[in-house]
Amino acid sequence: MAEKKIIAVVGATGAQGGGLVRAIMSDKGSRFTARALTRDVDSDKAKALAALGAEVVTADVDDAESLKRAFAGAYGAFCVTFFWAHFSPEKELTQARAMAQAAKHAGLQHVIWSTLEDTRKWVPLSDSRMPTLMDKYKVPHFDAKGEADQVFSEVGVPATFLLTSFYWDNLIHFGMGPKKGPDGKLAITLPMGDKKLPGIAAEDIGKCAYGIFKKGRELIGKTVGIAGEHLTGAQMAAALSKALGQEVRYNDVEPEVYRSFDFPGAEDLGNMFQFKRDFERDYCGARDLKFARALNPELQTFDQWLAQYKGRIPLE
Ligand SMILES: NC(=O)c1ccc[n+]([C@@H]2O[C@H](COP(=O)([O-])OP(=O)(O)OC[C@H]3O[C@@H](n4cnc5c(N)ncnc54)[C@H](OP(=O)(O)O)[C@@H]3O)[C@@H](O)[C@H]2O)c1
């Protein structure tokens, strides 16, 4: 049997990378195998990936040499950065450059860069519809990822630019689940008006990425977007009500109200939702559901995701 092609996976113990490692390793006849990058090969999550048969190696995206070692001998790599670990778009750019250079150094044949839109192409800094944040960004955790697309191109890496979507898992892990209002009724709060929010089961991102690698060279140099469904806040609330067996309302607030909430990153997320709301056609248009399903036939709908995870959504 031909030797399997190695995909080096950054963020392998996390949501996106973890989904990719599991997708590769659960496909027994695959022509690929996964090399999972982690800062701690002894963690429970790293051991769980090793138990699936993945090679687990130490690497840190802040350590360029460790990336070169981890990418050496691989066919491809999945590259992602971790904005919420540090809240620094500059750091994301530096890490993206380090990954691109390591990929070039290793002569990788296919890299997937997990990216998002540089919203400044739609809302320049001079546009006062939303505040400029950190001096030169509108949506810091989007803009630097989009800016880094150019870095992969400049460095000369054969890359596919993967536009991801809002994880429905944010309802569990990111404090975005239904909360009780003063009236005692549960509600989800999103500043989306009546516009649609593309969402996805986090696990499906890795499965779609695997579908991209399986296509060989076809998607190199292309930007592709994925989502499980495009749903309005009202549709999400209705699906939550059905799944949870109790009423969940949609609390539609203005983006400026969302920006004023008292949690780290509220301004960034307020701008993000405003961007998605005001440019719905472009944002949804870039995330084709049929294409995502073709990459990953197991792609979940929101109802399917809820059926699996509703018990883990904290109801505060
Ligand atoms: N939440 C959303 O709706 C959403 C939607 C689209 C895009 N995103 C983007 O997704 C990105 C995060 O991806 P994710 O959700 O897959 O991450 P995650 O689940 O938070 O996992 C992060 C993993 O990355 C690893 N990691 C953290 N710092 C590292 C470093 N310096 N070097 C190497 N590995 C490091 C950690 O692994 P070890 O501890 O094992 O090293 C951790 O398990 C963010 O940039 C965010 O903007 C999020």
For 229, the token pair is 């469904």
- The rounded distance, in Å, linking the Cα atoms of 305 and 168 is 8
Rounded to the nearest angstrom, the distance between the alpha carbon of 95 and the centre of ligand 1 is 12
Tell which residue, 89, 200, 106, 187, has the closest CA to residue 146: 89
pLDDT digits (tens, 9 = 90+) for 124-135: 999 999 999 999
Residues with CB under 6 A from ligand 1: 11, 13-17, 38-40, 43, 46, 60-62, 80-85, 141, 164, 166-167, 170, 174
Instruction: Point out the residues of the chain with pLDDT beneath 50.
Output: none
Q: Residue 43 CA: which ligand 1 atom is closest?
A: 40
pLDDT on residue 268:
98
Q: How far is the centre of ligand 1, averaged over its atoms, from the C-alpha of 214 (Å)?
A: 23
278-to-16, 48, 150, 196, 227 alpha-carbon distances in Å: 27, 42, 25, 10, 18
Nearest CA to 288 out of 192, 208, 234 is that of 208
Q: Report the pLDDT value the prediction gives residue 1, as an integer from 0 to 100.
A: 57
Q: What is the pLDDT of residue 144?
A: 98
Q: Edge-to-edge, what's the strand order for the sheet holding 223-225?
A: 55-58, 32-38, 5-9, 76-79, 110-115, 159-163, 223-225
Q: What is the pLDDT of residue 316?
A: 82
Residue 123 and residue 138: Cα distance in Å, rounded? 7
188, 238 contact by CB (below 8 A) = no
pTM of the predicted model as reported, rounded to 2 decimal places: 0.98
